């Protein structure tokens, strides 16, 4: 899960400049937008029957400036509630209805409780530990298997901070097998990271972005699957090639100077890891994966696809209720007492409270722009810029634009909340389906989150592995380049088909 993160110090380093948190960046943007409502001309588009802006229908209207202090403070609250503004509503561009972000925020909190209960049972940790134990003596095979497992965690629920618990175990096994600490770190960082980059049903990236873009989470999933599968293959190839070189000649290790220290640190005093996976934990794992399968079924418009399955037309309320049901089932399977269940669920929700707050603050930017009647003005300017672009040029320009935005706002959910209400309408002007804007956003965000120094996952994982940030950049840059090329190819082909 990717929330607002703070920079962590590089091992052995001193104090260094740290960017403000995503909370601060987003609130500053709210204030800036409020000030801009005094100078940016107000305007509106005429809407079609689906609530989409009609190209070429933009016209000027009377200015409606927002109060810089009062309205900036109210904006995140109104963004969560979906309170009407002076122009009639703060609905997203293509919903045609009043739309706040409270349903998304509540969904995030319930997901947090669901994940908290699952992790408390030890089922996920035990499953991975068992894989490690079963592959002793075949550690080379462990690299692709573990990277695929972590990629599945990334693509389904945005596995990020949870991966930090596995660093010591996996790095210890890699060093004992003749590899190095960087190999272990790469398995985790690239496995989870590429999985998140190629998110298919990740509720924190794809789900939120799709919601604000007004499309189903299932739309565009084929392209995202290609990015996931091919991207994971690229990561596995590079990690295995590097691991083989290190095992053949330890001097080729990028952390060879620390080899003796790392062996002393990770190997000395390490006991056997408990790998027993109880029947109860197996049931929990089955329920965990079934929850995501049910979500996928619920959101796919089977009727529109011409398939003979009942269409449930689920969205955030139904998905939230489904994960709440599976949280209860996991609580029963894990034999939680009533007190343990509620406290664990609340603790898990608390872990994602920052994500929910990010969504509210980010939505406040849209509130200010919409109530200040400058959203359509921005869209009109962008329409003029992209009107001469074909679909291929447009979608790749979107991808390149999301790269610096992902660095500025490292929270994937915050970036989705800010960007989708603006970027998705541009797709219709260029004749591109909005789900491909979702793919461009999540791929750019996922790529940057593999290296961004403001990520606690990147910097924390490297600190545990005792790998310097510069060393990581030296290792990972060719992979980043290939992943970017892969994304551009998938986006291009998707638009052309």
pLDDT of residue 275: 59
Contact in structure between 110 and 156 (CB atoms under 8 Å): no
pLDDT of residue 328: 95
β-sheet bridge partners, residue 44: 59
pLDDT of residue 187: 94
pLDDT of residue 489: 96
Contact in structure between 21 and 397 (CB atoms under 8 Å): no
Rounded to whole angstroms, what are the CA distances from 167 to 135, 136, 191, 242, 399?
17, 17, 12, 18, 31
> What is the full per-residue pLDDT of the chain (497 aa) written as tens digits?
554 444 444 444 445 555 566 678 778 888 998 999 999 899 888 877 766 677 778 889 999 899 999 888 988 888 787 654 444 444 433 333 335 678 878 887 898 899 889 888 888 777 777 777 777 777 788 899 989 989 988 888 777 766 776 787 788 888 878 899 999 999 999 999 999 999 888 877 888 888 878 888 888 899 999 999 999 999 999 999 999 999 999 999 998 888 888 888 776 545 455 556 788 889 998 998 898 788 778 876 676 656 788 878 787 788 889 999 999 999 999 999 999 999 999 998 988 787 788 777 877 887 888 888 887 887 777 677 766 778 899 999 889 888 887 876 767 777 787 778 778 878 877 888 889 999 999 999 999 989 887 666 787 788 888 888 889 999 999 999 999 999 999 999 999 98
β-sheet bridge partners, residue 43: 60
pLDDT of residue 450: 92
Residue 418, both tokens:
């800010």
pLDDT of residue 253: 93
Residue 265, both tokens:
């640190």
The residue to which tokens 């979906």 are assigned: 82
> Please, what is the angle between helix 316-333 and helix 102-120, to 10°?
20
């Amino acid at each position: 899960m990717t929330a607002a993160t703070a920079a962590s110090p590089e091992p052995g380093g001193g104090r260094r400049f740290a960017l403000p948190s995503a909370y601060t960046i987003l609130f500053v943007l709210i204030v800036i937008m409020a000030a801009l409502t005094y100078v940016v001309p107000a305007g509106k588009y005429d809407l079609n029957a689906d609530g989409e802006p009609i190209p070429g229908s933009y016209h000027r209207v009377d200015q409606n400036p927002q109060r810089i202090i009062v309205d900036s403070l109210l904006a995140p609250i109104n963004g969560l509630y979906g309170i009407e503004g002076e122009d009639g509503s703060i609905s997203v561009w293509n919903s045609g209805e009043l739309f706040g972000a409270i349903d998304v925020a509540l969904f995030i909190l319930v997901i947090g409780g669901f994940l908290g209960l699952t992790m408390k049972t030890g089922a996920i940790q035990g499953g991975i530990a068992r894989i490690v134990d079963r592959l002793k003596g075949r550690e080379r095979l462990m690299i692709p298997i573990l990277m695929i497992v972590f990629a599945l965690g990334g693509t389904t629920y945005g596995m990020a901070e949870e991966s930090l618990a596995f660093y010591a175990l996996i790095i210890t096994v890699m060093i004992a097998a003749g590899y190095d600490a960087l190999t272990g770190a790469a398995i985790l960082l690239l496995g989870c990271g590429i999985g998140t980059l190629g998110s298919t049903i990740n509720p924190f990236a794809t789900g939120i972005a799709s919601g604000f873009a007004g499309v189903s989470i299932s739309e565009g999933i084929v392209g995202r699957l290609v990015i996931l599968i091919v991207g994971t293959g690229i990561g596995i190839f590079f990690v295995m090639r590097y691991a083989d070189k290190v095992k053949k000649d330890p001097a080729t290790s990028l952390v060879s100077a620390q080899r003796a220290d790392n062996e002393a640190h990770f190997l000395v005093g390490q006991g056997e890891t408990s790998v027993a996976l109880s029947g109860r934990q197996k049931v929990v794992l089955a329920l965990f994966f079934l929850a995501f399968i049910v979500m996928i079924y619920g959101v796919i418009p089977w009727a529109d696809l011409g398939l003979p399955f009942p269409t449930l037309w689920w969205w955030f309320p139904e998905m939230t209720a489904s994960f709440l049901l599976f949280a209860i089932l996991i609580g029963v399977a894990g034999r939680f007492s009533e007190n343990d269940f509620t406290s664990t669920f609340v603790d898990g929700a608390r872990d994602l409270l920052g994500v929910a707050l990010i969504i509210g603050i980010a939505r406040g930017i849209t509130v200010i722009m919409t109530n200040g009647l400058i959203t359509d003005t921005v869209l009109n300017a962008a329409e003029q810029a992209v009107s001469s672009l074909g679909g291929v040029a447009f979608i790749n320009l979107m991808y390149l634009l999301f790269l610096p935005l992902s660095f500025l706002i490292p929270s994937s959910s915050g970036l989705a909340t800010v960007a989708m209400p603006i970027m998705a309408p541009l797709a219709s002007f260029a004749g591109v389906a909005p789900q491909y804007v979702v793919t461009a956003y999540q791929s750019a965000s996922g790529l940057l989150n593999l290296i961004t120094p403001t990520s606690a996952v990147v910097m924390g994982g490297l600190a545990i592995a005792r790998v310097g940030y510069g060393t990581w950049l030296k290792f990972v840059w060719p992979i980043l380049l290939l992943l970017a090329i892969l994304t551009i190819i998938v986006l291009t082909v998707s638009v052309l088909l």
